[in-house]
Structure 1
């Protein structure tokens, strides 16, 4: 069998932590009760497991366990908030919604759908560093504004928005505030109380938990505003009906517990790996530029434009050895440049020369050293190719 490539795409997904898998496994084969069937011992046991997992997720973000509901992931949580609030906001004359141009498609496309249904939309630009100016948000909020949604950490360029300041603006203006924190939770400190968020989404497969499970924080006073996206069963306080997958929740809870304990040391290690990787590129003479603010950033994220190299060609060159990407996994295969990089003001050439590299919990220094060497060799190989411009060919033939 060929050697497996070095995985450097941790913003796309993370491998499940073996400790979380071990906790989850027993609830698939032994303690398999339905947590909603509390009239028997299997159901009661399952309900205790669910309560523990809810508490673990809540502690990681500084919430109360009663303010956490489980979802299938951050995409569903985002949809539940934005679509679930839309009807009630419109009825109250609050049909103006605000978001940011660099948001994940799971937010932007929901906003666009609501715009087609008659809601007024404001999609704010960012600076060239990828950060939203709080003054721009304050200026955008008006008397009809009902909801603001701003991503905590960007999935492509890793920048960390000033969520605390943005939340304070929304709280002062009595506007509901949602943040898609799928990339941030478990990697940087998140405290929903200090951040003044009303709704916050997270996802299991971004924090070394199982895929297919996520959670949504709902500030208790805001619960009454949400309309469920589907009906049946009344689980999760009637907001997200359907049998809650206990084993997945247990795996998510354990992943949250581990992240809370190891986040600080992991952050320092990832920063060292990131800086080492950049130094290897610089020493090899690779001309690159980092997209997005380098300081307000996820510790394991890099998004760089390589001068004179097409990203897709580079990915093909390194594919047998490295797993990296040119942007968001949700837009893989798109022909147009990343909407995030375009929002930063990058021209098409620079956007199409950009790659995303994500370091994670299992990344070693040896892997980073090997990855840098493979990437540098591929860049030099591509740079050595000289293409004759089409116009010059035509002139010569004539």
Structure 2
């Protein structure tokens, strides 16, 4: 097989060696159950969990007692959205957007399906994938006379497919004015861009350790202190995490989560600048080597390492299969079971050509300039080969459309 290169860091990341080392002793030597209160093994495990909680709180700009450890962001999202509506038994209003992760959209639709008293609205987005703020304001004003129950807005911070960032502070301000709770899926932003839970005025957010070089299967919820007691637990059976999340704590995973988050936050500014520059290099090289390409998402207000590109008259699935030694994606890893074009790009108003030809590049800590340049050369060769046998491509050579073609430089 040809050289292997990993450019799918929005799906998952390799565990940092320093994280692995921090976790090691909690698998073999200090393996106690953090809920065991009567011996030293349990005390040491509990101390490690609380130290990890302090570390995470310092990195996230929240209080330690606002952190609930979970198995990852999907559980965290389900915990909040189902819990705030008491598992679907309480009514209210829920507003989200068309480009949310499936964990949010599927949960929201589940709630609306099981309880007609939960009024679900799905907001449109603009051509970059950002929520239309005017539409949000209109919904909030129209909902002044809301039915009894909770009023919740759930909007993604950084989109996992195209990288576009939503203005969460502005959204939070609108929510405060109207008495809405603001939940944000921050899975892709925590550890990658500046983040402060208190200053951003969020009510709830989430993280998965494996998105920032920690272990899989562990994450956290940050829940504003005054909301404790209003959320019905998703899991029952032991009352762990102040009664919010029952189940034996994954001590090694929690230690790894904290170590990974600390490393990510300490190097965040420099790494963010490097990745932003590297994705611009990737885009410019693609434009130079491959005609008829289109960038998807906001080129400036975005995740530093994310680039989404549509290749005209190219089937992205065929392209990725033919370049399987290079890890790329045609959408969200969590939606890969659905063999359909990206619903995110569709919500952004992209045409069928763009939908079927889109590829996501998500760069990470180990990505180099040399790797980027190598990937572009492989892409150029493979795109040319696929287009050569494409009837659509040959036809468009005769009738070039103005809507495509390489976009102006950003």
- TM-score, normalising length: structure 1: 0.94
Question: Please, which moves more after superposition, 277-286 or 106-115?
Answer: 277-286
Tell me the equivalent position of 2:350: 346
Tell me the equivalent position of 2:200: 195
1:216–1:85 CA distance, 2 compared to 1 (3 A): same
* Aligned residues of 2:309 and 2:360 also touching (Cα < 8 A): yes
Which of 56, 74, 93 pairs up with 1:96?
A: 93
1:386–1:106 CA distance, 2 compared to 1 (3 A): closer
Which of 169, 172, 177 pairs up with 1:172?
A: 177
Which of 353, 365, 369 pairs up with 2:369?
A: 365
* Alignment partners' CA distance in 2, 1:21 and 1:168: 40
* Aligned residues of 2:12 and 2:210 also touching (Cα < 8 A): yes
Calculate the aligned-residue CA RMSD, in Å.
1.7
* Aligned residues of 2:123 and 2:132 also touching (Cα < 8 A): no
Does 2:128 correspond to 1:123? Answer: no
* Aligned residues of 1:61 and 1:189 also touching (Cα < 8 A): no
* Aligned residues of 2:313 and 2:390 also touching (Cα < 8 A): no
Deviation at 1:89, TM superposition (A): 8.9
* Alignment partners' CA distance in 1, 2:14 and 2:57: 22
* Aligned residues of 1:134 and 1:165 also touching (Cα < 8 A): no
1:88–1:281 CA distance, 2 compared to 1 (3 A): closer
Tell me the equivalent position of 2:407: none
Does 2:333 correspond to 1:334? Answer: no
Residue 9 of structure 1 aligns to a residue whose secondary structure is coil
**Structure 1: tracts of 5 or more residues without a match:** 390-398
Tell me the equivalent position of 1:396: none
1:89–1:59 CA distance, 2 compared to 1 (3 A): farther
* Alignment partners' CA distance in 2, 1:218 and 1:388: 51
Residue 199 of structure 2 aligns to a residue whose secondary structure is helix
Question: Please, which moves more after superposition, 58-67 or 3-12?
Answer: 3-12
- TM-score, normalising length: structure 2: 0.91
Tell me the equivalent position of 2:106: 109
Residue 267 of structure 2 aligns to a residue whose secondary structure is helix
* Alignment partners' CA distance in 2, 1:198 and 1:56: 20
* Alignment partners' CA distance in 1, 2:2 and 2:381: 19
Deviation at 1:288, TM superposition (A): 1.1
* Alignment partners' CA distance in 2, 1:29 and 1:89: 42
* Alignment partners' CA distance in 1, 2:343 and 2:387: 26
Deviations 1:192-223 (A, max 9, x none): 11111100011111111000000000100011
Which of 242, 246, 249 pairs up with 2:247?
A: 242
Tell me the equivalent position of 2:321: 316
Tell me the equivalent position of 1:212: 217
* Aligned residues of 1:89 and 1:95 also touching (Cα < 8 A): no
* Aligned residues of 2:71 and 2:218 also touching (Cα < 8 A): yes
Deviations 1:228-265 (A, max 9, x none): 01211111010101111100000000001101101111
* Alignment partners' CA distance in 1, 2:289 and 2:250: 50
